[in-house]
Structure 1
Amino acid sequence: MISSELKSSNGHLVIGGVDSVELAHEYGTPLVVYDVEQIRQTINSFRASFEQSGFKYEISYASKAFATVAMYQVLKQEHLHTDVVSGGELFTALKAGFPADKISFHGNNKSLEELEMAVDNHIGVVIIDNFYEIELLEKVLNEKNASINVMLRLTPGISAHTHKYDQTGQVDSKFGFDVESGQAEKALQLVLKNSNMNLIGIHAHIGSQIFGIEGFTMLAHKMVEISNDWHQKYDFTPQVLNLGGGFGISYTSEDEPIGADVFIKQITKVVKKDAQKDGLSLPEIWIEPGRSIVGPAGYNLYTIGSHKDIPNLKSYINVDGGMGDNIRPALYQAKYEAVVANKMDAKLTQDVHVSGKYCESGDILIDSVQLPDVVPGDVLAMLDTGAYGYSMASNYNRNPRPAVVFAEGGKAKLVVKRESFEDLTKLDLDYL
């Protein structure tokens, strides 16, 4: 649903106070646009909820949702923490001037070189995922005569009700140390013996695009239970409980996400009650929102081209982008809504498929959406595309990746250039 403040007097979609049609004309399409003020407002809503709880906390932005130099600079302005999952994300954050001590490093198969980068740059915490990583990190720390803060990523046996590819907390997962089998406890023993690793807490993440509160409350109970068990057995009490992210957003009218205030109020209530019952000091609580921070603030702008009418079936409206700039519909069967940015006041007259230009039958961005009459040259805006669109973009069919623009306060700034055809071949080498 588009609110009235997102429409201009001439019936155009407005993003961050800027006419989206003018953006499409100035920067070309496909184009990714972010309303930066909306990003800031979402961050502040998380922060306000935690301030009311009385807990120490960190809001750690999950970089994989969208990672560019400009995004990290906004996070720095907002004094946020961030987590990275690759050497590339770490490099980008550092290049943006993001404080290294406010970076945590995730990943189930970190390389030796990535761990060396993390240690050399004195990042805030490495979140250890498996036994091999303990060995690698130990080797790096010994060779560099260094130390670093670490957390253990646990698999608590809690499954979120979401797409199977988005579930990460259940026992059968590639991520983390399994609690039920004793792997987590074995990892604890190994890390506590290593004087170069300062174990500050435990981490778990149960999935993505979660709408219910039950999984999060179960996780909060479980993490305090583990903390108490380890306190009794090893005299170790985690300073930090990192409860991950996965907070759902509304892509369509069918989605009913929980608010940040509801989620934070509930998990802090559970942690406080359980910790006090067990005689534990209150830990810091960290969360890792990514999608919920950038998803609703993002828009993908396309130019409408050809269409295909089929008797007694929905028409296909074709745009100049597709699965190369948003793979989620093909990969996850993700649903989106869209509007025609230059016809916001026009009557809706047709139920159509929105299809991309890629040479795949599965390149359908939206399977069913109500649109007004359209003609080639109209600008279609897909809504809530800010998470996992640009970050998963590819050069499939040798199409360049789109430009990215930040809009705020009525002004727009190009923050990622559009790739050129020349860019597509810059790493290619001659064979003959």
Structure 2
Amino acid sequence: MPTAHPSGWAHADGALRGPHWLREPSDPDALVPLLWSRTATKADGVLSVGGVPLPELVREHGSPAYVLDEADFRGRAAAFRDAFSDYEVYYAGKAFLCTTVARWLAEEGLSLDVCSGGELAVAERAGFPMERIGFHGNNKTVGELERAVELGVGRVIVDSFHEIERLASVTTELGRTIGVMVRVTAGVEAHTHEYIATAHEDQKFGFSIASGDALEAVRRVRDAPGLSLLGLHSHIGSQIFDTSGFEVAARRVLALHARVVEEVGVEMPEMDLGGGFGIAYTTQDDPSDPAQLATEISKIVEHECRGLGIAVPRLSIEPGRAIVGPSMCTVYEVGTVKEVALDGGARRTYVSVDGGMSDNIRTALYDADYSATIASRPSGAPPALSRVVGKHCEAGDIVVKDEFLPGDVRPGDLVAVPGTGAYCRSMASNYNHALRPPVIGVRDGKTFTVLRRETVADLLATDVGNS
């Protein structure tokens, strides 16, 4: 077992050799298709996405830039819609949301999960059908609930007894009724390939099934004015690669569903099983096909409902990052390359780019792994184990911890990082007063701006000063 180092993972035993799953490639210029959007190609060392060579994109739009592959996004959305044709498929707004994406989702027939008033405002601006919106969150304000009720969102997922009271007060005041899902904690946490069925009640989300709070929440929603009880909502984790964890969760949530029928006298019409399906960030990841996921999850639900003697409710699923995650990459320009001598004669190559933790915090925050490739030229140099780092004043400002890049990487090269569609732009910041990069859409050899690059004027707009 690896041992932790008090100074962090970068100093741990074996860190200089790279992770065990990272293999030296025979051709460091080659793409690993699983990691990239479906239109990504490489010819003579130049990476193109959506028919647009990235050096041309950078000449027009600058760097760093997020590159969003429209055809890939729509294709993944349609794949989940078609595979889960008997379900309602909710896209995770928190992963990445803007008016363009909201319109694509509406056109592809998906529903939308929002978790703040800001995300709801984007959906409203895009003209997204409000009846296809679910509103999540463990601490929605009165103002957010009022706006959700006024707009007529399809469902609010309640997360506390206080929220049930608050929402009932809002619906009474506005003279409206709104659909409600009760988020429950099934005592199951799925994390990648490990499924543990105990000791996960200690979290901020949901009502515990084991403690009886979930059943009590159902009773209170049933009795509250203006609240229409739709069903139970369960979420067991993120970056999930198979359906093993869903089996235990579905058994517990469906058992509660059956208890509600028997003890509360209500047959709830719906159930949301969450989702959080994984994507390939590196060659160690092996995501499941949407059709396979749909088949396996449906079998689990049908089996449990048959055993309980209840009808299968209308099901919802939330793919999480699996739609937008692979549809975007980030392109950077290399500024400096530094070889550092380390203990024992080892050396590490640091490739510094013009972005970093302000546009992708996930490596620093979650110890997330990413991949990278040189995107602007061919190279015949042998591969060298490298670390792609940002320009911020933090030792932990790392974009890609370990990757084999051509040994002749140099200033002016473009480096592209795949799998940055989910949570990178959403969690981007102005740390060190950095300007957030644009999101540039690509399709059929053309570019279009989805979100423009921030400017210094944007940065200073909220700084009122002290004249």
Q: What TM bracket, shorter-length normalisation?
A: over 0.9
Cα distance 1:239–1:221, how it changes in 2: closer, same or farther (>3 A)? same
Corresponding residue SS for 2:396: coil
1:126-205 superposed matches below 5 A: 126-162=156-192, 170-205=200-235
Q: Which residue of 1 aligns with 2:355?
A: 321
How far apart are the structure 1 equivalents of 2:268 and 2:231? 4
How far apart are the structure 2 equivalents of 1:393 and 1:9? 31
1:313-349 Cα offsets, whole Å, 9 max, x none, are 2111100000000000000000000001113565443
Task: Give yes or no for contact 1:31–1:402 (8 Å, CA) kept in 2.
Answer: yes
Which of 417, 421, 426 is the equivalent residue of 2:452? 417
Task: Give yes or no for contact 2:215–2:256 (8 Å, CA) kept in 1.
Answer: no
Task: Give yes or no for contact 1:355–1:364 (8 Å, CA) kept in 2.
Answer: yes
Cα distance 1:348–1:413, how it changes in 2: closer, same or farther (>3 A)? farther
Task: Give yes or no for contact 1:337–1:382 (8 Å, CA) kept in 2.
Answer: yes
Does residue 386 of the first structure (1) align with residue 421 of the second (2)? yes
Deviation of 1:220 after TM superposition, in Å, equals 1.9
Corresponding residue SS for 2:84: helix
Q: Which residue of 1 aligns with 2:79?
A: 45
Deviation of 1:45 after TM superposition, in Å, equals 1.9
Deviation of 1:168 after TM superposition, in Å, equals 13
Does residue 407 of the first structure (1) align with residue 442 of the second (2)? yes
Unaligned runs of 5+ in 1: none
Q: Could you state the TM-score of these two structures normalised by the residue count of structure 1?
A: 0.95
Deviation of 1:163 after TM superposition, in Å, equals 11
Q: Which residue of 1 aligns with 2:400?
A: 366
Deviation of 1:278 after TM superposition, in Å, equals 2.6
How far apart are the structure 2 equivalents of 1:230 and 1:349? 60
Deviates more, 1:353-362 or 1:209-218: 209-218
1:282-310 Cα offsets, whole Å, 9 max, x none, are 21111111210011111001010012211
Deviation of 1:44 after TM superposition, in Å, equals 2.0
Corresponding residue SS for 1:160: strand
Corresponding residue SS for 1:263: helix
How far apart are the structure 2 equivalents of 1:225 and 1:424? 52
Corresponding residue SS for 1:110: coil
1:20-419 superposed matches below 5 A: 20-51=54-85, 56-162=86-192, 170-311=200-341, 312-343=346-377, 346-372=380-406, 373-419=408-454
Corresponding residue SS for 1:431: coil
Deviates more, 1:235-244 or 1:329-338: 235-244
Task: Give yes or no for contact 2:337–2:409 (8 Å, CA) kept in 1.
Answer: no
Deviation of 1:367 after TM superposition, in Å, equals 1.5
Cα distance 1:168–1:245, how it changes in 2: closer, same or farther (>3 A)? farther
Task: Give yes or no for contact 1:315–1:352 (8 Å, CA) kept in 2.
Answer: yes
Task: Give yes or no for contact 1:168–1:206 (8 Å, CA) kept in 2.
Answer: no
Q: Letter of the 2:392 partner, please give it.
A: Y
Q: Could you state the TM-score of these two structures normalised by the residue count of structure 2?
A: 0.88
Cα distance 1:44–1:5, how it changes in 2: closer, same or farther (>3 A)? closer
Cα distance 1:26–1:122, how it changes in 2: closer, same or farther (>3 A)? same
Unaligned runs of 5+ in 2: 1-30
RMSD: 1.9
How far apart are the structure 1 equivalents of 2:118 and 2:39? 37
Deviation of 1:42 after TM superposition, in Å, equals 1.3
Cα distance 1:169–1:345, how it changes in 2: closer, same or farther (>3 A)? farther
Corresponding residue SS for 1:60: strand
1:31-65 Cα offsets, whole Å, 9 max, x none, are 001111111221222223223xxxx3111001000
Corresponding residue SS for 1:22: helix
How far apart are the structure 1 equivalents of 2:189 and 2:392? 35
Corresponding residue SS for 1:334: coil
Corresponding residue SS for 1:247: coil
How far apart are the structure 2 equivalents of 1:253 and 1:105? 35
Task: Give yes or no for contact 1:336–1:382 (8 Å, CA) kept in 2.
Answer: yes
How far apart are the structure 2 equivalents of 1:188 and 1:352? 53
Percent pairwise identity:
42
Task: Give yes or no for contact 1:296–1:386 (8 Å, CA) kept in 2.
Answer: yes
Deviation of 1:262 after TM superposition, in Å, equals 2.1
Cα distance 1:5–1:125, how it changes in 2: closer, same or farther (>3 A)? closer
Corresponding residue SS for 1:390: coil
Task: Give yes or no for contact 2:329–2:420 (8 Å, CA) kept in 1.
Answer: yes
Deviation of 1:169 after TM superposition, in Å, equals 10
Corresponding residue SS for 2:403: strand
Q: Letter of the 1:383 partner, please give it.
A: P
